[in-house]
Amino acid sequence: MPAERAILVLLLACLAPGGASLIADEAADWPQLQGTRRDGIYRGPPLVDSLPPKGPPAPWKKNVGQGFAGPSVAAGRLLLFHRLNNEEVLDCLDAGTGKTMWTSKYPASYRDRFGFDEGPRAVPTIEGGRVYTNGAAGILSCTDLESGKKIWRIDTHASFKPREGFFGTACAPLVSASKVFVQVGGTVKIGSDGKGSGIVAFDSSTGKALWGATSDEAGYSSPVLGKLAGKTRLVCFTRTGIVVLDPGTGSILFEKRWRARIGASVNAATPVLTDDMIYFSSSYQTGSICLKVGAGGYRELWSGDRILSSHYSSIIHQGGFLYGFDGRQEYGTQLRCVSLTSGKIAWSEARPGEKKYGSGTLILAGDKLLVMADSGELMLARVSPSGYKRLGSADILAGTVRAYPALAGGLFYARSTSELVCIDLRKAPAAKPGPK
């Protein structure tokens, strides 16, 4: 990093309690779901220009327990949240070697009535020298990043009595301004004014519930926070639909019922928030909707089910265009690029032959798109609004891959239902010219 930025990071680290663990470096860290800004965009050093069929170097790989919770990385540490036997386990690993530094665990109670997987679903969130996890049965925990000691832990299901969902709790905690925001989907009212516990803000230091909002069941999407028309807003995609809130008070500023007509459906993709627009995507004949925020409130720019209908994977926005999977995971999907402002499809990419895209995940690094398929295949492509060019692929994992990966400092971390692997995608520095 430039010298001035390095000095600033060092000063902040010295001033803050807990030291350098409090500093999130966009080039070196991936501290939560979809990265530092929860947008799926990598801002680190350059990546390789192709993937060899046998795969890029893998510094380490290890067996893991059950779960669909992807890893998070900060300050040289990787946090893995998984289930071993009858416990939900948070492991802190050395991100460079995979060596375990500490372990924190508690009894697991979740039972998957569909028989898929009984491990945690939500990516850990690293913020302020602490790690926040949300277990499959709604156990919300705060753990010290340095030592692994429990700071607080609450059972949100016991406290707020949510209705049973299809696949357990999946909301990755969002931490900002001393608050932890979570979709709980509770039926218990919070406070003297009797507000709902569909969405709850907790004190990040104590776990105390500060405010609640909506009576919506929880979706499988995680909240995002950002500026809309110059004001900071919390945006959630619940099982019912779209909710925009004031993060300080929990006041609902806008809500819209927007979900599938059938009961057997999920809302899973993270909302996209940029400047004065918010975008949502779902499957089951629901599709896409883009809203514009202005002096008159929230108005629909466009919507439709034949544009970009995401089943599980989140959509990534860059330069006025959306990149994501269109279609149901069971039937095969296509990669698409869509204009954010108009909803027009710039291009669609279907895999040739018998292989089809399933429920993969995406990371965008400049003009390079990393596609992690549920089969364990990693694909690299060069993308822009004008087209898609494949740059190679390699099988890097055994088992089913549903977890979101992490990309920190050019190292790609991905997990399946049985393995966690570190892949080196750093571009080799250009050779210095020899003497004349």
**Neighbouring C-beta atoms of residue 24, cutoff 10 Å:** 19
Q: Please report, for residues 12, 17, 272, 323, 369, the alpha-carbon distance to residue 22 in angstroms, rounded to integers and kept in the order given.
A: 9, 8, 26, 31, 29
User: Tens-of-pLDDT digits for all 436 residues of the chain?
Assistant: 443 333 333 333 333 333 333 446 999 999 999 999 999 999 999 999 999 988 999 999 999 999 999 999 999 999 999 999 999 999 999 999 999 999 999 999 988 887 788 999 999 999 999 999 999 999 999 999 999 999 999 999 999 999 988 889 999 999 999 999 999 999 999 987 788 999 999 999 999 999 999 999 999 999 999 999 999 999 999 999 999 999 999 999 999 999 988 887 888 899 999 989 999 999 988 999 999 999 889 999 999 999 999 988 999 999 999 999 998 877 778 999 999 999 999 999 987 655 667 779 999 999 999 999 999 999 999 999 999 999 999 999 999 999 999 999 999 999 999 999 999 999 987 766 666 6
Cα 228 from chain centre? 20
* Angle of CA points 118, 121, 125, to nearest 5°: 140
As a dihedral over the C-alpha atoms of residue 18, residue 81, residue 323, residue 174, rounded to 10 degrees, the angle is -50
As a dihedral over the C-alpha atoms of residue 296, residue 299, residue 301, residue 307, rounded to 10 degrees, the angle is 160
C-alpha radius of gyration, the chain, whole number: 21
| Predicted local distance difference test score (pLDDT) of residue 404 | 97
* Angle of CA points 410, 411, 415, to nearest 5°: 145
Paired tokens of 290? 């883009």
Torsions phi, psi for 160 (to 5 deg): -120, -5
CATH number for the 29-424 domain, one of 1.10.238.10, 2.40.128.110, 2.130.10.10, 3.40.605.10? 2.130.10.10
Domain boundary assignment for the chain: 29-424
Torsions phi, psi for 236 (to 5 deg): -130, 150
* Angle of CA points 51, 37, 1, to nearest 5°: 70
* Angle of CA points 127, 130, 135, to nearest 5°: 95
Note the residue count of the chain.
Answer: 436
The pTM assigned to this predicted structure is 0.92
| Predicted local distance difference test score (pLDDT) of residue 6 | 37
Q: Alpha-carbon distance 249 to 262, whole Å?
A: 33
Return the DSSP state at 333. B
Q: Alpha-carbon distance 176 to 152, whole Å?
A: 17
Q: Alpha-carbon distance 9 to 25, whole Å?
A: 8
> Facing residues of 153 across strands?
141
Three-state SS for 4-38 is HHHHHHHHHHHHCCCHHHHCCCCCCCECCCCCCCC
Return the DSSP state at 91. E
Torsions phi, psi for 47 (to 5 deg): -105, 165
Residue located via tokens 């629901």: 286
Residue 389's closest CA among 367, 357, 361, 360?
367
Biggest alpha carbon distance in the chain? 80
Cα 417 from chain centre? 17
